[in-house]
Amino acid sequence: MILTGLTAALAAATVAGLALGSVPIPPSHVLDILTGRAEPSPFRTIVLDVRLPRVILGATVGAGLAVIGTVLQALVRNPLADPFLLGVSSGASVGAVSAIVLGGVFGLGAALSTAVTVPAASFAGALISLALVYALARSGGGGFATGRLILAGVAVSYILSALTSLILVTADSADQLKEVLYWTLGGLGGARWDMLALPCAVLTAGTLLLVALARPLDLLLVGEEGATVLGLDTARFRAAVFVLASLLTGVLVAYSGAIGFVGLLVPHAARMLVGAAHRPLLPVAALLGAVFLVVADLAARTVAAPQDIPVGVLTALTGGPFFLWLLRGSHRHEGVAA
């Protein structure tokens, strides 16, 4: 019932995303366009060539970030973990903007840069930043401390943001400057049909693989020692899933920029619906994340129309207070434990 309800919500959000904007289109006409019953018109071009790729990319990125956040919170056993707060998105952004600038320096074509170099560099940046945060957050006994994890993520994010700013300052052309600003703010305005295949394929394969790994993810919830006693090689499993999470983050950030707090907010809402078991949790988180980002992007397009606000700004405004609330609850819990 929950999956059916979320699927219906995603369909409704999709129709709203196609109908609303600086040029409003009646929902009935949108449905006629999608079913091929509408005659060629400017509305048809707006729906099929401008808004539909953007909605699909938003749903893909939202679902992916929610799945990654759910998995990272299980891997590090910390409710505050998400790709943005742990520096993974910042690392992916550094890789992406470096590829953009170097691609311009060495004369790589735009098509090659979009299809190959930017996603590859984004994945490398995400993997390196996550490995660095992982190393810094490990306590002397090999476990994780909440305070060290958050501090390490924030520190790495600041360093990578400074590096992105340096790249921004040294960009040679106005076009490069515009592209770099896009990665730093996070947005879906550049969505096109020819850039949807890779993120959709990676999201589908990665989510299916993670659902297949639901039992080991559940074992991590009982603790490091308990999971080891039950037969899980926690170090090897964490390393493998970290690489997978970095791949997903790198590909998504390569096409959307660094959109924060989706991976923090959505997993908690999904757990309220279906509990902590990962086999039902991951599909619910994916659908909920897709709905959340499609609606957030719709708000970004309409709240100050015709101006298009980067969706990363709205997700930060939403996620920031929620993060502070979680952090306060975490400190209270630690105080009681002490």
What are φ and ψ of residue 259, in 5° steps?
-100, 115
Residue position matching structure tokens 């009681």: 336
Q: What is the pLDDT of residue 183?
A: 64
pLDDT at 179: 63
How high is the pLDDT of residue 16? Answer: 93
pLDDT at 104: 54
Tell me: cis bond preceding 216? Omega within 30 of 0 counts.
no
Residue 112 pLDDT: 42
CA–CA separation, 153 and 89 (whole Å): 11
**The whole model's pTM is what?**
0.85
Query: Closest Cα partner for 62 from 303, 301, 246, 286?
Result: 286
134: which 2 tokens? 């992982």
Query: Are 311 and 58 a contacting pair, CB within 8 Å?
Result: yes
> Cα 268 to the chain's mean position, in Å?
15
Q: How many other C-beta atoms can be found within 10 angstroms of the C-beta atom of residue 16?
A: 17
Q: Which pLDDT belongs to residue 334? A: 46
- Are 89 and 126 contacting, i.e. CB atoms less than 8 angstroms apart? yes
pLDDT at 255: 84
| Look-up of token digits 């308990």 | 226
Using only C-alpha atoms, the chain has a radius of gyration, in whole angstroms, of 20
- Which residues, given as ranges, of the chain have pLDDT below 50? 105-112, 331, 333-338
Q: How confident is the model at residue 123, as a pLDDT?
A: 83
Task: Give the contacts of 100 (CB within 8 A, at least 6 positions apart).
Answer: 113, 118, 176, 179, 180, 183
pLDDT at 84: 76
